Amino acid sequence: MLAQIAQLLVDFVASFLVFLLLARFHFQWLRVPFRNPVGGFIVAMTDWMVRPARRVIPSVAGLDLATLIGAWLVQALALWLLLSIRDLETGGGSSASAAIGFIAVLALLDLARYSLYILIFAVLVQVVLSWLNPHSPVAPLFQALTQPFLAPIRRVLPPIGNVDLSPLVLLLLLQVLLIPLGHLRMMVGAPG
């Protein structure tokens, strides 16, 4: 029971921080403005980790590697902790220490999956806002996040009868991408 509680807490805290760090990375990569409630929250929650890391890890080609590497390290640490907790619970050997390479690969796969989840969330929120409140203060944020991915689809599939099907196509493509990532994760031997 205590092991399950510990796993839940590790998974929740790490996932929350990794999602925030990835959102910050994607905001900077896609040039999404931070001057909105969501951007302000992300910066406030991640500055304690990103600012010191930027002194050591430079940006490359406009990509904030300090934030991305921070997300990867947090995810890798969480996976190591989850394996360690499982080892303590089952009384097994130290498989967490022996699996450092696997943990690094799993953390990369998780970052890719989480990035797809962020994009899925952004598309869904943008669609709902376009129907209910297109002039919401956060609407430009979600527009900036999704536009680079929707524009190529819109060139191939223009609106039909004033209905834009590109978000639906993008959601389908993202779901298709999640399937091989999930299988890869299972092949590597994901914990939890």
Distance CA 92, CA 81 (A): 14
pLDDT score recorded for residue 94: 60
The C-alpha angle with vertex 144 and arms to 53 and 122, in degrees rounded to 5, equals 85
Distance CA 108, CA 114 (A): 10
Give bridge partners of residue 160 from the DSSP assignment: 163
Lookup: tokens for 180: 């091989």
Give bridge partners of residue 60 from the DSSP assignment: 63
Domain boundaries, the chain: 2-188
User: Which three-class secondary structure state does DSSP give residue 63?
Assistant: strand
Neighbours of 3 (CB within 10 A): 14
User: Which three-class secondary structure state does DSSP give residue 145?
Assistant: helix
Length of the chain: 192
CA distances from 61 to 22, 37, 51, 68, 101 (A): 17, 27, 18, 13, 27
3-state helix, strand, coil split of the chain in percent (to 5) is: 80, 0, 20
CB 123 within 8 A of CB 170: yes
Distance CA 142, CA 126 (A): 6
Distance CA 75, CA 49 (A): 14
Distance CA 22, CA 112 (A): 10
Give this prediction's pTM.
Answer: 0.90
pLDDT score recorded for residue 93: 61
CB 122 within 8 A of CB 144: no
Per-residue pLDDT of the chain (192 residues), as tens digits, is 888 999 999 999 999 999 999 999 999 999 998 888 899 999 999 999 999 999 999 999 889 999 999 999 999 999 999 988 888 887 766 665 667 888 899 999 999 999 999 999 999 999 999 889 989 888 999 999 999 999 999 999 998 898 899 999 999 999 999 999 999 988 876 554
